[in-house]
Amino acid sequence: MWNGRDRAEVTCIACGEEVPRSSAREYDKHGDRWTREDKKFEHLCKSCHRELCHQPRGDLEDVLAEIDTAGTRERFLERYVEIVEAERDRPDSQE
């Protein structure tokens, strides 16, 4: 039983539009939407989901999840650059 959860409205993380849960697509930043226990999913409206590149993105989600998102946009970008540059500078890194 779905217990009415599909009647809820969710916000698209790409465009900010409020859509019915039943008209949205789940987005799992960890890339494993089948493992559902103790997860909170984000959502995309159908049009934003169609516009996504559905090709593998390597470690992108892991890097984004590692960054503390509680700060400012500038701090987010600084952390992203730090992590990517540190990865690039590792001796075992493949370019």
**For the chain, how many structural domains are there in total?**
2
In a shared domain, residues 39 and 65: no
User: Looking at residue 1, what is its pLDDT?
Assistant: 38
Question: pLDDT of the chain along its 95 residues, tens only?
Answer: 344 555 689 999 899 999 999 989 888 776 666 777 877 888 999 989 888 766 777 788 778 878 866 778 888 889 889 888 888 887 765 55
Question: Residue 47: inside a domain, yes or no?
Answer: yes
Is the pTM of the predicted complex or chain greater than 0.75?
Answer: no
Question: Residue 94: inside a domain, yes or no?
Answer: no
DSSP 18-84: EEEGGGEEEE-TTS-TT--TT---EEEEHHHHHHS--S--TTHHHHHHHS-TTS-HHHHHHHHHHHH
In a shared domain, residues 40 and 64: no
| Residue 44 domain boundaries | 5-51
